[in-house]
Structure 1
Amino acid sequence: MAYNPSSRSCSYDSFCFLFITFVLPYFFFTKAQAASHCRTSCGTIPINYPFGIDDGCGSPYYRHMLVCSDSGILELRTPSGRYHVRSISYSDPHMIVTDPFMWKCQDGHHFRATRAFSLDTSTHLTLSSQNDYLFFNCSEEKVIVEPKPIFCERFPDRCDSTCDSASYLCRHLPGCGAALGGRSCCSYFPKATESLRLMLKYCASYTSIYWRINGANAPDDHVPEYGIRVDFDIPVTTDCLQCQDMKKGGGRCGFDTQSQNFLCLCNQRSNVTTYCNDHSSSSHSKAGIIAGTVTGVSAAGALGIGAGLWYWKKVRASAPVTCGVQSNENRLF
């Protein structure tokens, strides 16, 4: 059988068409994702070091703790669930989160079933001492509900286990002073998650109030608001300070998702182990650091390549070739 150069031309043109259609968009998309992987905000909340909402960004101590939804809602992951993050302060390191199961003013004397908010004690997150917990309708057979100053004078050895019925906040609930309608209320700060669970076993519900500093002069510089204040540490390292230094390239502190070793994330070049302007440093591919993003794109790309090759083979097997000219029988598009 004589060799027909037109047949090869048709096959080559078909392959080029499929390559451009299925494969090239995948590579461009992967590169675009890798180049801008560290988002700096979620909704209106800035995301700075030590946090990151993309894997490989920020400090590995806070890996996978914050989640940003497609609608721009930031959430904190804890052993007890996911909670809406209302704000983050980096100058006074803390965040304010809300628990949808906690009692609210509009609940009045209707107490819903709730669960204890908890943090992983192995992390760099801690419950702030500026939180006050109010418990409602506790069983006085199981919980010591007494005015704390008087009770502590009489029983100093049992003072820490008292739920204070004389609490200022019980008498001045923020935004709804009379919402409880005479129901019992007491204030207690649990020192551990287990003690909080035990309190909820014998109380109808609870809520958390933190003291917000509004910058005014005393005595009105602290204002009570509903929410949970969670304090966090900012790990300070020489590597991170060098990376962030604008004179040295102004990178972002991150880490390798495989080894969790420090990386300086740079915009104009591959990520490095020191700082962005250090051209002698070993570099790492950006695409390799964003394991979660690139893996998802790779799967889509693999499917596209597979579909393209299958279609190309089908065309080669079934479409007749007529001297390299498209006819109604061999037309591709």
Structure 2
Amino acid sequence: MASKFMKISFISVLLPWLTIQDLIGFMDAKSIPCRTSCGDIPITYPFGIDDGCGSPYYRHLFVCSNSGQLELRTPSGRYPIRNISYSDPHILVTDPFMWNCRDGADFRPTRPFSLDTSTHFTLSTQNDYLFFNCSESNVIMEPKPMFCERFPEQCDSTCDVSSYLCRHLPECASALRGSSCCSYYPKATESLRLMLKHCASYTSVYWRNLGITPPFNQIPEYGIRVDFEIPVTTRCLRCQDTAKSGGICGFDTETQNFLCLCEKGNVTTFCKDRSNSHTRSGVVAGTATAVSVAGALGIGAGIWFLRKARAKAPVTQGVQSNENRLF
């Protein structure tokens, strides 16, 4: 550790524009493994916190804060993740802007939650959306069964005032104190925005599976369930096989091609394949390498160039625009 900081001190004299974080970053870049958890939430394939870990389909979408809070990055913001299930692939997200029981009839300004449709995330059909104090002159508020019988062609456009959840609000049945409630499933972000123009607030309720025999196998809880796909390939399965490899599935951060991340380097097949001569180190974790002064100068120049380029580039946070995105 002492030798590391001696090198940092020496390099910082040569490269005064670098911060301590930059220096420690490139000293440790080749010795930090893919993190397997954030707080108490396990992180495994297809996800990754560190760039190059997991599947490129989910690159830059997860953030682990300094306090150990895992967050999902979407076009509408960053949202705390409560849980990840890999057996029934979904994540549970909380939105601090949505209505909750503590708000009661005090409706705070909110914003519509949205997902980037270019990712492999989808909103679960197990979500229900409740809207509060909507304008009856702008929103069709009717008991859905009766409305659908009278106007079957407009059935999807009604906000159901007789929904089970409005009559049995989870955790706080009497919290609204006379305010109106109706249930509506938005088909797209734009329809959600339109609803929020004419409603005081909204919240999302998902149905958590208890893993028992029906009919009482689900209970409603506040939050947003987001389903995801697990892209499975033969190369990834061989890479993860503890008997043959024991590696971690990842990808080249430049080409996004598959890499098996191993202790002694990153390969394109699996860790114990002796015939594989294509070894890539330094893309992610797996190889501890000393940093020479010449290498530091090259890295320092690269960081300086990237900073100049980033100062001129628009900030996208790794996701696409919020405009015209399906809900």
TM-score w.r.t. length of structure 1: 0.79
Tell me which residue corresponds to 1:109.
105
Q: Offset at 1:242?
A: 1.1
Tell me which residue corresponds to 1:327.
none
List per-residue Cα deviations over 1:106-151 (Å, max 9, x = no partner): 1000111111000001110000000000000111111110000111
Tell me which residue corresponds to 2:135.
139
150, 153, 156: which one aligns with 1:157? 153
Q: Tell me, yes or no, if the aligned pair for 2:8 and 2:24 is still in contact at 8 Å.
A: no
Q: Tell me, yes or no, if the aligned pair for 2:38 and 2:69 is still in contact at 8 Å.
A: yes
The range that moved more, 211-220 or 49-58, is 211-220
Instruction: Supply the AA of the counterpart residue of 1:138.
Output: C
Tell me which residue corresponds to 1:9.
none
Distance 2:111 2:261 in 1: 40
The structure with the largest helix share of the pair is: 1
- Secondary structure at the aligned position of 1:138 is classed as coil
Q: Offset at 1:288?
A: 3.6
Distance 1:198 1:59 in 2: 35
TM-score w.r.t. length of structure 2: 0.80
55, 60, 63: which one aligns with 2:56? 60
Q: Tell me, yes or no, if the aligned pair for 1:48 and 1:58 is still in contact at 8 Å.
A: yes
The range that moved more, 24-33 or 216-225, is 24-33
TM-aligned CA distance change 1:199 to 1:146, over 3 Å: same
Gap runs ≥5 in structure 1: 1-17, 307-333
- Highest CA radius of gyration, 1 or 2? 1
Q: Offset at 1:250?
A: 1.3
Q: Tell me, yes or no, if the aligned pair for 1:30 and 1:287 is still in contact at 8 Å.
A: no
- Secondary structure at the aligned position of 1:126 is classed as strand
Tell me which residue corresponds to 1:127.
123
Gap runs ≥5 in structure 2: 1-5, 13-19, 302-327
Does residue 261 (structure 1) correspond to residue 257 (structure 2)? The answer is: yes
Equivalent residue pairs, number:
281
Instruction: Supply the AA of the counterpart residue of 1:177.
Output: A
Tell me which residue corresponds to 1:46.
42
Tell me which residue corresponds to 2:233.
237
Distance 2:9 2:200 in 1: 61
Counterparts of residues 154-303 of structure 1 (less than 5 Å): 154-267=150-263, 269-289=264-284, 302=297
Distance 1:121 1:21 in 2: 46
Aligned CA RMSD, in angstroms, stands at 2.7
Aligned residues: percent identity? Answer: 66
Does residue 84 (structure 1) correspond to residue 72 (structure 2)? The answer is: no
TM-aligned CA distance change 1:20 to 1:201, over 3 Å: closer
Instruction: Supply the AA of the counterpart residue of 1:284.
Output: T
